[in-house]
Amino acid sequence: MNHDDHWEKQLQQLPLGNGGFSVESMNKIKERIRLNRTTRLRSARIAVAAVSIVSVAAVAWAINRGMQPQQVATEPRVDETEAQLIVQYWDNQSFMNQIGQPYMIRHPNIDFKIVTSQSNDLASYRKWLEESNADVLQIPLAYIDDLAKDGAIIPLDDMLKRDRVDLDEMYQPMIELMREAGGGKLYALVDQFSTDLLFYNKTLFQRHRVPLPDEGDTWDDIFRLAGRFDGSTEDGKPVYGLSFGWRSDPYNAIMKVGRSEGLSLVDAKGLPQVDSDAWHKVWSQVTEGFGKGWINNEPGPAASNIGWTEESIMKADTFINNRAAMSLQSYNSSWNFISKAIEKGIFTGDWDALPVSSSTAPEVTRSFGGAIIYAINAKSPNKDQAMKLIEYIVSKEQSERDYVSGNFPLHANRATSVSIANDPADRVYAAKLDADTILEQLERNQLPGVLEMSAALNAKGTEAAQSIIAGRTTVEETLSQLQEEAVSAIQSSGRTDGLP
């Protein structure tokens, strides 16, 4: 045995195979507490056979965890100086549940104060930041370059290097996106992100003798395949080629397709291009699908006084009920429903998922739905502690906590010691993201008047699309009208430069 391979290092991992502390152990402990059985009984293991509900995630976690090397948990650091970190987050309670409480267990000397920002544009965020004394910021992606130029946030590269954070183990497109946003430097780190995936029901494709979608398929290919289901029925009910989740809104579908094609409603100067040829094509394809009925056009679940319930959504979603061959949905929300539908035996088809490619760049995806991003306030007196907190938030350990809790977020630092059978996240992490186009779309959305313009179009879009579907107007007429609406909305916001 040589020095390089010292036996003592081997003791850091206990190769237990399928054994050790498991979800089953956790459930037994909780059950014994519930039954108030504090006395030791050897028969406890047998007596408490009926454990509480174990989610799919938990079971998979248990199984998978047992097969992984037993790693030493992160060691609590009790030698830190006491500090109160001020963190920008949505609300105190969810911060403490998600991050604060587990962090305080590991770092007993750190206390938290949560602050929120109500700003919805860069100018008001800048003002808020000026007055804020937050150490850790949760910033919009589109603001990174501006705040970096202001010197309001600090580059993290050196601190990450010092703390030996392995950026290579993170989902590289998210690191590239951050570097791109920061002009080469890393000013922020992504915790979670969202992206759309095209789920497809192989069984339906096979039953209707339609070839399966393939990697690299563009929207032209997907619409062509979806159109093959035109007029299809099963058991007297329509079968659709494509759906867009559980809500059937043609304007929402047009925006999703347009976004994944890398289209923007405004040009580089922030001037409307609602009636461009590229948008014209998307409107034509989507409204044709809705009109002919190969895109799901059912009204969706009725909202109760508490909004939509999980039950009503699962009942109304045509993909979950094996009546839509494909469905473009955000990974995060759809997988939650689909996995439950599989567990309950509602969704029975053989299935898979794919990232959607743009017709102009088939090797990348542009279906980016946003990210939760953290940065450090340049004015913070607690930069090292703030860095430690961000490092914890984006750690694999924290991703694992989140995953085990039954949520399905996409973490930039993916949990690798836990997994669920057939989790389509593999498809997301295998995809490449078009950082340039995504940032360009976001930048354009920040230009003056664009927010007001988007709001005006959102208010009119669905009705306009319905009008085309019903044959009352043409795509040309509708887009021409919406273009005028867009110009008018920007003018109303106070901007006049460059407008007709």
93 interacts with another protein by CB under 8 A: yes
CA angle 215, 217, 220 (to 5 degrees): 170
User: What's the closest the beta carbon of residue 400 comes to another protein, in angstroms?
Assistant: 8
Stretch that binds another protein, among 108-116, 193-201, 250-258, 366-374 (CB under 8 A): 108-116
76 interacts with another protein by CB under 8 A: yes
209 interacts with another protein by CB under 8 A: no
391 Cβ neighbours under 8 A, 6+ residues apart: 160, 163, 165
* Farthest-apart Cα atoms in the chain, separation: 83
Among 18, 124, 133, 233, binds another protein (CB under 8 A): 18
Based on CB atoms, which residue is closest to another protein, 73 or 306? 73
Based on CB atoms, which residue is closest to another protein, 19 or 362? 19
Among 53, 59, 60, 69, binds another protein (CB under 8 A): 69
Q: Are strands 110-115 and 83-88 parallel, antiparallel or unpaired?
A: parallel
Among 59, 81, 88, 97, binds another protein (CB under 8 A): 97
407 interacts with another protein by CB under 8 A: no
Treating both helix axes as pointing N-terminal to C-terminal, what angle do 277-292 and 219-227 enclose, rounded to 10 degrees? 20
Note the Cα 113 to chain centre separation in Å. 26
Q: Which of 347, 310, 71, 411 is nearest to 200 (CA)?
A: 347
Based on CB atoms, which residue is closest to another protein, 42 or 209? 42
* Sites for another protein among residues 367-406 (CB under 8 A): 400-401, 404
Among 52, 90, 108, 363, binds another protein (CB under 8 A): 108
Based on CB atoms, which residue is closest to another protein, 12 or 133? 12
Which runs of consecutive H residues, i.e. helices, occur in 132-266?
144-150, 157-162, 172-181, 202-207, 219-227, 250-260
Based on CB atoms, which residue is closest to another protein, 93 or 124? 93
* Sites for another protein among residues 27-46 (CB under 8 A): 28-30, 32-33, 38, 40, 42, 44-45
d(C-alpha 405, C-alpha 55), whole Å: 9
Structure tokens at 394: 């984006």
Q: Write the DSSP assignment of 92-160 as a string of letters.
A: HHHHIIIIIHHHHHH-TTEEEEEE-----SHHHHHHHHHH---SEEE--GGGHHHHHHHT-B---HHHH
Binding site for another protein (CB under 8 A): 1, 3, 6-21, 25-26, 28-30, 32-33, 38, 40, 42, 44-45, 66-76, 78, 92-93, 96-97, 100-102, 104-106, 108-109, 111-112, 114, 400-401, 404
